[in-house]
Amino acid sequence: MIVPPDSVWYAAEVIDYRLDENTVILLGNARVRYKEMELEAGKITYQPDKELVFAEGIPDTTDDGRKITGIPVFRDGEEQFTGVQMSYNLSTGRGTVIQGRTRYEEGFYSGSRIRKVEEETFMVKSATYTTCELKDPHYHFHSHRMKIIFNDKVIARPVIFYLRDVPLVWLPFFIFSIRKDRHSGFLIPRYGSNSIDGRYLYDLGYYLAPGDYWDATFRGRLREKTGWMIQISSRYHLRGRFRGHFDGSFEKRRIDSGNRRTGWELGVGHIQDIAGDMTLRASGRFRSDRDFSLRNSTNLYERLNRTLRSHLSLNKNWRGFGSLNLTLSHNKNLDTGETSMYLPKVSFRKPRTPVFRPLPGKSGARKWYHSIYYSLNSGFSNYRTQSRHTVNERVRLDGRLGVSGSQKLFGWLNLGPSLDLGSVWTKDRGKDPFRTDSYGVTLSANTTLYGLFRPEIGSLRAVRHVLSPRIIYTFRFQSQQDGWSSQPRNRTSSQRLGLSVGNIFQIKTRRRKFDLATLDLSTGYDLKLHRFSDLNTTLRIRPGKVVNLTLYSSHNFYDSDGKLRLLSPDLKSLSVVTSLRLSGEGPKMAERAEKKIPEGFEETAGYVTGRVEYPQQSSYGTRIRGWSLGLSHRYSLTRIGLSSSEINWIKGNLSFDLTRKWHFDYWFNYDLTGRKMTSQQIGLYRDLHCWEARAVWALSGYRRGYYIRLNIKALPEIKIEKRKGVIGL
């Protein structure tokens, strides 16, 4: 049956028409549908003239009427409510729910009286909010008055936080966003303490997202012992035109003497596309003093980066012809105060281009000369360095032409000849200019050989050996002249043979094919000095996903007296890394919110200025129950003359579920040479339904200390935490 869209459709087990009262009473599995609205209940009373609908449950006759069945359920688009009683006006779209409850995203909202006053706007009396789905939740927020604007925000006042039925925290009002998209809103503050700043409150601020093309974040830091800081960051992006970001910080810091000092930092980055084939790039970072990042950052890269870099470049590309790049740059070492800059640096590059192109419209096999290519590179630079006592400057102009080709002989031998010609003009500050001319000839030859063995042992079907020998001959000549003089004052030449052999061992079984091992060896011979270079060996073995072995070694063909020992070379360096990883899986667990250890506990942070920071080693999140075991061993030996240095350590981690609620992690790093444990850490995690708890103990190493945290899964900002570093231990 086709129902007009503006009609009211209803159904029930029993329909009672009361014409004198202009009322329709629906009993038993009653349903009313109007446009996108749908109402279900044990009993529904419909008044067509007033366009009013009333819904309620009915007593369960099988339970002496003590139990109510057919609890009303209201749906309108994404909105859904349940309650003891409901009323709804079909014409205005407004209604009321008594003892109502609804779910939105991960949260449950309930109230003694819920009124729909506008489209997607609800007023709630005696409201509660929780992410715990239990009838008696482990925690909830209670508010006398709450306004819910779906897909926007929730406004409540006042707000009381309850743990079970015990009130813990009171706030005069609270506003939080429930929008799904990127939107403006207040940041969730973070609090904590450390030995340097004392108690602190971070991320006091606001995120501004006025449109799709830019945003901004305003943050503040309040620190008990060291003052305050404000931070501003912004991003912008207009597709096809430009994109970039900037950030700035300003601090007012108290120092030991009781005085105050100011500090600031500014960073910018910008990329702009001009006319499609031209790009402008700019970036830079500036600070008031060299220790700003040490005082205010726990990120290891930011703390160790002691160079400020500024960069401006313009790149122009001609398709099929080449590219031109203009660069201005400035670098400053914060520790030494030395600066270096390019003012400017210009380069032109023409990519590999065939010397002879096949004629258009001509078919047939390619000729040998069609594989001859040439390339051009040229540049100009003005490089300047300045320290406290010296200033150096070098102007350089260079150009290089390269010609290369590849040919295949007899169907199996690959030849690769190449020729390059170059000239460099150089002028150093306070010195006469000089010119360096050079040319080089290279000829390479390589092939690939295959060997196949079919043992038919068990599931093993075949073993294939791929052998790739390669030989390279290189001749280079270089001369240096003063200025425009044609008389060289310095000539050098070199001839060298390079030898390398690559090996791949492949396995084929009934189920799969894989590379079992690779072995690469390389060396060289100087035809002018009549001397072999070191023999370098790389071996990788990976029989499966469990075990992995990598070996690097370097051997010298000459003893301490310079005598050639071709068959028994001396070991110069050796590095062997072996790893083992085992894991097992079990049935899926419920989702866990990702555990985020707060700032100061990131893996990138370290012990600096009396502050100890811990790694974020564990991330449980949504995971599969099970266990994992990882072991890694590294041995490294380096010999220089009669002395040698050795590194020998083993590290590992173990992770498993003690029960369905408890999870255990263990990490260690052991120095086999020094016979001591350099770092050791234990982690425990407890699933507490809508809450979670974790504890991390660093038993040794510079991260020594502990961190304990209890928080709500869906609202990790609501937490109780305790941490202690090396200070005081």
pTM passes above 0.75: no
Asked if residue 258 is part of any domain, the answer here is: no
pLDDT of residue 65: 59
Asked if residue 338 is part of any domain, the answer here is: no
Q: How far apart are CA 45 and CA 52, in angstroms?
A: 8
pLDDT, averaged in runs of 10, over the chain (729 residues): 68 91 92 91 92 91 75 87 92 91 87 90 93 91 91 89 91 82 81 79 90 92 92 91 94 81 94 89 93 79 84 93 95 92 95 86 72 95 92 95 92 94 94 92 96 89 95 95 75 95 94 93 95 96 91 93 90 95 65 36 30 32 68 94 89 93 93 90 93 91 81 84 56
Asked if residue 647 is part of any domain, the answer here is: yes
**Domain end residue (candidates: 126, 161, 180):** 180
pLDDT of residue 669: 92
pLDDT of residue 604: 29
- Contact assessment for residue 595 and residue 693, using Cβ atoms and an 8 Å cutoff: no
Long-range CB contacts for residues 180-185, cutoff 8 Å, separation at least 24: 180/105, 180/151, 182/209, 182/215, 183/209, 184/208, 184/209, 184/210, 185/153
Tokens of 262: 């100011």
Asked if residue 116 is part of any domain, the answer here is: yes
Asked if residue 607 is part of any domain, the answer here is: yes
538, burial (CB in 10 Å: exposed 0-12, middle 13-18, buried 19+): middle
Tokens of 641: 């003359």
Q: How far apart are CA 528 and CA 477, in angstroms?
A: 12
Asked if residue 552 is part of any domain, the answer here is: no
Tokens of 59: 């007593």
Q: How far apart are CA 288 and CA 229, in angstroms?
A: 14
Structural domain total, the chain: 2
Q: How far apart are CA 144 and CA 129, in angstroms?
A: 12
Domain hosting residue 616, numbered range: 559-729
- CATH number for the domain spanning 172: value is 2.60.450.10
Asked if residue 549 is part of any domain, the answer here is: no
Asked if residue 227 is part of any domain, the answer here is: no
**Domain end residue (candidates: 165, 180, 195):** 180
**Domain end residue (candidates: 154, 180, 206):** 180
Q: How far apart are CA 600 and CA 197, in angstroms?
A: 12
pLDDT of residue 729: 28
pLDDT of residue 487: 72
